[in-house]
Amino acid sequence: MIQDTKVVKVGENITIGGKKRFTLIAGPCVMESQELMLEVAGEISALCKKLGIDYIFKASFDKANRSSIHSYRGPGLEEGLKMLQKVKDTYRVPVVTDIHEPWQCEKVAQVADLLQIPAFLCRQTDLLIAAAATGKPVNIKKGQFLAPWDMKNVVVKMEESGNEGILLCERGSTFGYNNMVVDMRSLLEMRKFGYPVVFDVTHAVQKPGGLGTATSGDREYVYPLMRAGLAVGVDAIFAEVHPNPEVAKSDGPNMLYLKDLEDILKVAIQIDDLVKNY
């Protein structure tokens, strides 16, 4: 039996945690265009309504840690927030995006229902304090360099800044050079802090710097890792999805094909329902 957690509210109608069915946080890695965002959000939103899954749309306005200075980073903060607002207005879904510097938090919180702290920045105290001050829930990715129990210090920073709307996200750990590995014990260890746990199943299969000037990945391992994570017990699945990952401007090798998502989610529901009703 999996350990119960606090319930975190996102937007007007979504709650994450307790023992309810997993929430899906999904979208393209980076905001490539408004058209792409609307296509992905529309298809996933309709699919999740059909399957009975709560859905939060995700896309980044700035990929601030790309391997190469020549890589596409995104439309930037101002244009990116307009694009996110269009998705919200069109499909009535909550949205999440990354923040990288404290000054961005207040602006992003005017549009985003959920803020996200990138893994590389999870120990940045000023960023956590600024995110907490918005009053919005925050999805904090565990650094690739951290043990799961070290996330307790991150939790305390948020709590003592007055915000308990905390999601803790597993996205894999550095394993030698240019590789990642997922220790499923992390999902249980972080759950002990009492907050919902998110499993980022696509970044978990990255090969950082594997292409020299860009990150590579092993998409084939997304499915078994997702199944394993759900069997251990998680509150949300984070996945980057694209109609054609082969031409995506960021993280293509580890993104899921949009056309494959329905079959993947049907399996996910079966595992999640079994585990949480055991």
With contact defined as beta carbons under 8 Å apart, do 40 and 258 qualify? yes
What average pLDDT does the segment 254-269 reach?
96
Give the CATH H-level superfamily of domain 7-276.
Answer: Aldolase class I (3.20.20.70)
pLDDT at 253 over 60: yes
Residue with tokens 């920073």: 157
Question: Between 251 and 102, where is the model more confident?
Answer: 102
pLDDT exceeds cutoff 70 at 1: no
- pTM for the whole thing? 0.95
Tokens of 18: 């307790």
Q: What is the pLDDT of residues 154-201, one digit of tens each?
A: 999 999 999 999 999 999 999 999 889 999 999 999 999 999 999 999
Domain borders along the chain are 7-276
DSSP letter (8 states) at residue 11: T
Query: Cα separation of 107 and 85, whole Å?
Result: 12
Place of tokens 């699919």: 47
Instruction: Dump pLDDT digits (tens) for 136-154.
Output: 999 999 999 999 999 999 9
pLDDT value at position 218?
A: 84
Alpha carbons 222 and 236: distance in angstroms, whole number: 15
Q: What is the pLDDT of residue 217?
A: 75
Would you say residue 214 has pLDDT above 90?
A: no
Beta strands in 125-235 (DSSP E): 138-141, 166-170, 173-174, 180-181, 197-200, 206-207, 216-217
Q: Please state, for a pLDDT cut of 70, what percent of the chain lies above it.
A: 96
pLDDT for position 131: 99
- The pair of three-digit structure tokens given for residue 99, joined into one six-digit string: 């923040």
* pLDDT at residue 66 in the model: 67
